[in-house]
Amino acid sequence: MMNIFHIFLLFCYFGFLCFGGGNALTPLYIDHLVNEQHWMTLQEFGDLTAISQMTPGPIGVNAATFFGFRRGGIPGALMATVGLLVPSYFLVILALRSLKRWEKSFLVRGIMTGIHPATTGMILAALLIFMQMSVFSTEIPWKTWLGIAENASQTEFFIRPLAVLIFCAATALLYKGKVSIMSVIFGSAAVGALGAAVGLS
């Protein structure tokens, strides 16, 4: 019982501290779960990250569920997941309720002036990261191109023609807003699998 409660509190703490989305969780997890609590080894953590990236769902929830299960079975998994999400539940609702009141204040307007373009920059970065997992075979080797790479990259960089086609078609369809996101996702999954079947990629 104590164990389950401990899991809940620990993940609440993680939920409070992960500023800037789930990626901020990785260093927190390594610090607390691997180095301090010894709940798992770094090797196991690496495996878990790989599993989380390949399975659907937010990576942070995947990891919390996995850790919780390791420590306390299904109740542990549940407590870890709930604990991770509880802080933001209250914080987002609080923000939504108070934002209306402070919308016109100088401080909030200043924060928004900075956050809006910052968001554009972050989304641009997310776009590049997505393309490096689909349209491009690997990360763009800009260091090699600039001649400042410390060691030659392991995987060859090339562009996947079918992926480019899907990318452009999806952009056009979703920009117009005529086709729903789910149809686009299923359509591209089918095209991608078919392409693999006939040897295109």
Partner 1 sequence: METDLSKLPRGRVLWLLFFNFFKIALFVVGGGYAIILAAEDIFIRKLHWLRDGELMDMLAIIQTIPGLMAGNAAIYVGYRAAGALGALVALAGVAMPSFLIITAVAMGFSHLPMDNVYVQGAFIGVRSALGGLVLAALLRTWRKMMTDWFAYLVAFLCFGGVIFCSLNPAWLLLGAMAAGIVYLKFTCGKIAEANLAEGNKQA
- Which positions from 36 through 55 interact with partner 1, judged by CB under 8 A? 51-52, 54-55
Minimum Å gap between C-beta 49 and partner 1 is 13
Question: Position of tokens 């401990």?
Answer: 6
Alpha-carbon distance of 82 to 77, in angstroms, equals 9
Apex 106 CA angle, 102 and 109, nearest 5: 75
Contact stretch for partner 1 (CB under 8 A) within 2-10, 36-44, 147-155, 177-185:
177-185
Closest to partner 1 by CB, 6 or 160 = 160
**Main-chain dihedrals φ then ψ at residue 56, nearest 5 degrees:** -65, 170
SS3 content of the chain, % helix, strand, coil (to 5): 75, 0, 25
CA distances from 39 to 43, 75, 128 (A): 12, 17, 34
As beta bridge partners, residue 159 has 136
Closest to partner 1 by CB, 23 or 41 = 23
- Using CB under 8 A, which residues numbered 4 to 23 contact partner 1? 15-23
The count of other CB atoms within 10 Å of the CB of residue 22 is 16
Closest to partner 1 by CB, 25 or 33 = 25
- Residue choice 35, 41, 102, 112 for contact with partner 1 (CB under 8 A): 112
| 149 in contact with partner 1 (CB under 8 A) | no
The footprint of partner 1 on this chain (CB under 8 A) covers a number of residues equal to 102
| 185 in contact with partner 1 (CB under 8 A) | yes
Closest to partner 1 by CB, 34 or 69 = 69
Minimum Å gap between C-beta 52 and partner 1 is 8
**Main-chain dihedrals φ then ψ at residue 154, nearest 5 degrees:** -75, -40
| 175 in contact with partner 1 (CB under 8 A) | yes
